[in-house]
């Protein structure tokens, strides 16, 4: 009997070991699959996305990347739904909405421990504005975007006007635009800002719509700096040197800026972005790039943006997800996108290898990338974008439409305090300051 029990125990233990062995063996052999939701664009087209996956999987045979390339229109809904449900969200994705940020994995420690990648590898302003939220690293900045002024050298030469320089002021902008304007040729000297509190606003007295603690509108939206900025806009509109909002709307490209007017030589100067810059270069336009004008001795600001590549906090494979994130948004992945697509990487060491990097205009673009960014008003002030801008937009519209006199700017801004404060008070408890 004892013998029988001993034999049975032996068989049982052997089976158990065999089972455990097979499970362990399968775990070691089967690769982990992580999910990645992304979008295709001219900067990061589908072939570049596939090439990133292929290169990563070749380097990491134990990790498979299940990529889904989505339409932008569906992306937000799917992210909202899956994050809200707490299941089904991808391991890796762009987390561009502020309410999504609390649902990202904190990668501060992983990045610090990473021997191949560091926050210092990125443009500092882009990293601070797009990767850090409430003191924790919530992703990596993928690509760089910025606004700057492109000027058409041929138009300047024809009008006999000197090219602008980096130290120009907002008032010089109006003077130059006026000098370039030629109604007979249906040409405007420069365009208008397309929204308040972008760089030009901060560059005229560091204006902000409300206090840094997101508590007070009075004294900010109607403070002396804001009045100066809105009065500058009034002067610009009054000069007749800029196209109307209707012209910009119609002749702009995909609502991003009047690059078509600029390329056609109907705009001497235009505040555009790096995508437009490449479009103009490909069209053979003879142009230069300078930062937006600012008040001398004040800090220079730039309106800039990046895509925030993050890991979902609910991922079951945080280590593998980080491996992929640091590859895709690190030097290798961004270089692949730069070479196959037209991505401008957020890593200076990689961006320096951009095909046009030596061109004058590109050097002008590189010059704005280290300026302080106004992106904070979108990146960490969710109430500005969603609620407050809407409440105070009448002041902007009234000036754009030429509905008020110059000496009415202060009173118009004073009238914005109450709706602005109400919008802020409603929003901050909900979305945070």
Partner 1 sequence: MILTRWRNMTTQERRDAKTGYLALSPWMVGFAVFFAFPILATFYFSLTQWTLVDPPVWVGLANYARMFTRDPLFLSSLKATTLFVVLSLPLKLVLGLMLALLLNLKIPGMNVFRTVFFIPAVISGVAVSLMWIWFLNPDTGVVNTLLHYVGVQGPYWFWDKDWALPSVAIMSIWKVGGAAIIYLAGLQNIPAHLYEAAEIDGAGKWRRFWRITLPLLTPTLFFQLIIELIDAFKIFTEAFVITKGGPLKATYFFLYYFYEEAFRNFNMGYASALALFLLVVIMGCTVLVYRTSGRWVYYEN
Q: Which residues bind partner 1 (CB under 8 A)?
A: 76, 80, 83-84, 97, 99-100, 102-103, 244-247, 249-250, 382, 385-387, 390-391, 393-394, 397-398, 400-401, 403, 419, 422, 426-427, 430-431
**Residue 141 region, left (φ>0) first, then alpha (ψ -120 to 50), else beta?**
beta
Closer residue to partner 1, CB minimum distance, 97 or 121:
97
Closer residue to partner 1, CB minimum distance, 243 or 291:
243
Closer residue to partner 1, CB minimum distance, 312 or 362:
312
- By the 8 A CB rule, do 305 and 72 touch? no
**CA 242 to each of CA 171, 174, 200, 247, 257: distance values in angstroms, whole numbers, following the listed order:** 14, 9, 16, 10, 13
**CA 383 to each of CA 21, 132, 267, 378, 430: distance values in angstroms, whole numbers, following the listed order:** 55, 18, 34, 9, 9
Token code pair at residue 354 = 């951009």
**CA 198 to each of CA 24, 231, 330: distance values in angstroms, whole numbers, following the listed order:** 56, 15, 28
- What minimum distance in Å lies between the beta carbon of 389 and partner 1? 10
CA 288 to CA 415: how far, in whole Å? 40
**Residue 337 region, left (φ>0) first, then alpha (ψ -120 to 50), else beta?**
alpha
Closer residue to partner 1, CB minimum distance, 80 or 216:
80
- What minimum distance in Å lies between the beta carbon of 212 and partner 1? 21
- What minimum distance in Å lies between the beta carbon of 161 and partner 1? 24
Closer residue to partner 1, CB minimum distance, 194 or 300:
194
- By the 8 A CB rule, do 369 and 123 touch? yes
- What minimum distance in Å lies between the beta carbon of 157 and partner 1? 26
- What minimum distance in Å lies between the beta carbon of 405 and partner 1? 16
DSSP for 107-173? -HHHHHH-SS--GGGS-HHHHHHHTEETTEE--EEEEEEEEEEEEEHHHHHHHT-PPP-TT--HHHH
Closer residue to partner 1, CB minimum distance, 99 or 331:
99
- What minimum distance in Å lies between the beta carbon of 390 and partner 1? 7
- What minimum distance in Å lies between the beta carbon of 81 and partner 1? 8
- What minimum distance in Å lies between the beta carbon of 49 and partner 1? 25
DSSP for 207-252? --SS-TTS---TTTTTSHHHHHHHHHHHHHHHHT-S--HHHHHHHS
Closer residue to partner 1, CB minimum distance, 365 or 384:
384
Closer residue to partner 1, CB minimum distance, 45 or 386:
386
């Amino acid at each position: 009997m004892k013998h029988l029990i001993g034999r049975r125990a032996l068989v049982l233990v052997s089976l158990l070991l065999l089972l455990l062995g097979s499970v362990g063996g399968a775990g070691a052999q089967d690769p982990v699959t992580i999910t990645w939701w992304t979008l295709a664009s001219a900067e990061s087209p589908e072939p570049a996305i596939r090439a990133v996956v292929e290169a990563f999987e070749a380097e990491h045979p134990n990790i498979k990347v299940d990529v889904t390339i989505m339409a932008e229109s569906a992306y937000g809904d799917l992210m909202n739904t899956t994050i809200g449900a707490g299941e089904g969200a991808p391991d890796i994705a762009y987390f561009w909405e502020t309410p999504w940020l609390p649902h990202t994995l904190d990668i501060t420690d992983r990045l610090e421990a990473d021997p191949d990648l560091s926050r210092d590898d990125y443009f500092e302003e882009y990293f601070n504005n797009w990767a850090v939220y409430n003191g924790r690293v919530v992703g990596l900045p993928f690509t760089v975007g910025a606004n700057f002024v492109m000027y058409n050298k041929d138009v300047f030469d024809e009008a006999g006007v000197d090219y602008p320089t980096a130290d120009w002021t907002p008032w010089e902008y109006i003077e130059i635009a006026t000098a370039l304007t030629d109604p007979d040729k249906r040409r405007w000297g420069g365009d208008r800002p397309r929204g308040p509190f972008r760089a030009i606003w901060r560059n005229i007295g560091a204006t902000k719509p409300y206090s840094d603690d997101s508590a007070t509108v009075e004294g900010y939206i109607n403070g002396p700096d804001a009045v100066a900025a809105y009065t500058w806009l009034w002067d610009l509109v009054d000069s007749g040197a800029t196209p109307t909002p209707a012209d910009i709307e119609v002749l702009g490209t995909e609502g991003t800026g009047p690059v078509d007017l600029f390329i056609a030589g109907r705009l001497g100067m235009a505040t555009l972005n790096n995508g437009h810059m490449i479009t103009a270069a490909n069209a053979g336009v003879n142009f230069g790039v300078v930062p937006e004008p600012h008040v001398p001795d004040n800090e220079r600001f730039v309106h800039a943006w990046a895509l925030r590549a993050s890991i979902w906090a609910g991922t079951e494979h945080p280590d593998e997800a980080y491996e992929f994130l640091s590859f895709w948004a690190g030097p290798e992945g961004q270089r692949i996108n730069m070479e196959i697509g037209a991505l401008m990487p957020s890593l200076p060491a990689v961006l320096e290898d951009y095909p046009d990097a030596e061109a004058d205009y590109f050097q002008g673009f590189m010059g704005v990338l280290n300026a302080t960014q106004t992106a904070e008003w979108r990146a960490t002030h969710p109430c500005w974008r969603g609620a407050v801008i809407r409440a105070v937009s009448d002041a902007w519209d009234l000036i754009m439409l030429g509905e008020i006199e110059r000496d009415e700017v202060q009173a118009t801004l004073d009238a914005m305090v109450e709706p602005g404060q109400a919008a802020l008070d409603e929003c901050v408890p909900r979305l945070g300051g």
